[in-house]
């Protein structure tokens, strides 16, 4: 270490007069005061005297435990066998119930507060809704099983189901979507969206928890995929990276009415949408078994059994 403590060491500071340092440090109180003033400024956003917020890190922990509950043995440090299976599942259910009921409570209270409503029995509500959620786990596992098989059938590069479960981002995003959508159905505020934004950050796949998506759903690669709030997707649908299922342009005035309408498309069974394709509008229906080519931009319905392509590109020779 001695050599690295010579003039070039990253620990050695340049000279500075103590007085100069003090002068500079003494500016801080004034800076604090300036910021405090703006804290009360209508133009800014703060969360003071406000109700509790669900904790992002708690939500991430819940999702980690849930993945292990939905795919037992894939993500635990400890090997599972018939001897310890019941204890491990029991531990997971208990932990998730405690953590989830707390975050549901926080979300509900935050929302009540926002509408200046009293928070009535929100702790009981938290416990009830957490139990209700856990009762839906077996069905979630079954549906996720169809999604994993769809990935294996859809991707020639897949070598095993195990590889898909523990490394495919599409399965990661769909797993969290199936969880968040269940909480969305239970009308839990805030939490479902936080879960999907976590999945979005990890995978680049942005699915709104409100979207309705059928069995055997496969997203390949996935980066840049966007699935809007009121999208309806049938069974055995396959999407590639960069696909947008979105809303049509909206005049700024109209936004508030739009919040309640169906603004996103309907994709029927067995449709394939290739990378970079964009399908917009609440009345747009892509008929069953149709194939939407890459990078196309669609705002009208497409009948069943149709293929839609871009014009072939222009070639220019140097």
**Closer CB to a second copy, 197 or 269, in the complex:** 197
Task: Please give the Cα distance from 232 to 214 (Å, whole number).
Answer: 8
**Closer CB to a second copy, 71 or 177, in the complex:** 71
Question: Cβ(223)–Cβ(203) under 8 Å?
Answer: yes
Residues 6 or more apart from 38 whose CB is under 8 A from it? 44
187 binds a second copy (CB under 8 A): no
Query: Which tokens sit at 283?
Result: 């009345």
Least spacing, CB of residue 213 vs a second copy, in Å: 16
Binding to a second copy (CB under 8 A) within 70-89 occurs at 71-74, 77-86, 89
Least spacing, CB of residue 300 vs a second copy, in Å: 8
Which residue is it, tokens 């939407």? 292
Among 64, 153, 212, 283, binds a second copy (CB under 8 A): 153
Tell me the site size for a second copy, rule CB under 8 A.
160
**Closer CB to a second copy, 182 or 244, in the complex:** 244
259 binds a second copy (CB under 8 A): yes
Binding to a second copy (CB under 8 A) within 91-130 occurs at 93-94, 97, 105-106, 109-110, 114, 119-124, 127-128
The phi and psi torsions of 270 (rounded to 5 degrees) equal 60, 25
Q: First and final CA of the chain: distance in angstroms? A: 59
Among 63, 185, 189, 235, binds a second copy (CB under 8 A): 189
291 binds a second copy (CB under 8 A): yes
Query: Which tokens sit at 298?
Result: 């669609």
H or E, element range at 6? none
Binding to a second copy (CB under 8 A) within 29-58 occurs at 29, 31-32, 34-39, 41, 43-53, 55-56
Starting from the edge strand earliest in sequence, which strands make up the sheet with 232-233, in order? 212-213, 232-233, 266-267, 285-286
Among 60, 212, 283, 305, binds a second copy (CB under 8 A): 305
Dihedral angle sign, alpha carbons of residues 89, 93, 95, 99: positive
């Amino acid at each position: 270490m001695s050599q690295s403590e010579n003039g070039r060491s990253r620990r050695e500071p340049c000279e500075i007069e103590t007085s100069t340092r003090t002068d500079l440090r003494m500016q801080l109180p004034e800076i604090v005061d300036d910021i405090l003033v703006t804290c009360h400024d209508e133009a800014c956003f703060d969360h003071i005297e406000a109700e509790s917020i669900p904790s992002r890190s708690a939500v991430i922990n819940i999702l980690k435990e849930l993945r292990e509950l939905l795919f037992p043995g894939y993500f635990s440090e400890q090997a599972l066998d018939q001897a310890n299976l019941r204890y491990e599942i029991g531990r997971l259910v208990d932990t998730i119930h405690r953590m989830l009921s707390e975050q549901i409570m926080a979300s509900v209270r935050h929302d009540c507060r926002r509408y200046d409503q009293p928070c009535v029995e929100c702790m009981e509500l938290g416990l009830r809704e957490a139990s209700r959620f856990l009762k839906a786990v077996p069905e979630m596992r079954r549906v996720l099983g169809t999604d994993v098989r769809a990935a294996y059938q859809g991707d020639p590069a897949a070598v095993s189901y195990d590889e898909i479960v523990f490394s495919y981002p599409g399965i990661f995003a769909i797993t969290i979507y199936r969880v968040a959508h269940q909480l969305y159905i239970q009308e839990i505020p805030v939490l479902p969206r936080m879960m999907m934004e976590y999945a979005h950050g990890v995978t680049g796949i942005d699915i709104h928890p409100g979207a309705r998506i059928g069995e055997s759903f496969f997203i390949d690669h996935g980066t840049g995929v966007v699935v809007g709030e009121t999208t309806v997707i049938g069974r055995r649908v396959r999407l590639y990276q960069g696909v947008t299922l979105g809303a049509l342009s909206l005049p700024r005035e109209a936004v508030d009415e739009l919040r309640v309408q169906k603004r996103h498309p309907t994709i029927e069974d067995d449709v394939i949408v290739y990378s970079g394709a964009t399908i917009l509008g609440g009345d747009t229906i892509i008929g069953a078994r149709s194939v939407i080519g890459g990078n196309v931009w669609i705002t009208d319905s497409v009948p069943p059994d149709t293929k839609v392509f871009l014009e072939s590109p222009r070639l220019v020779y140097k």
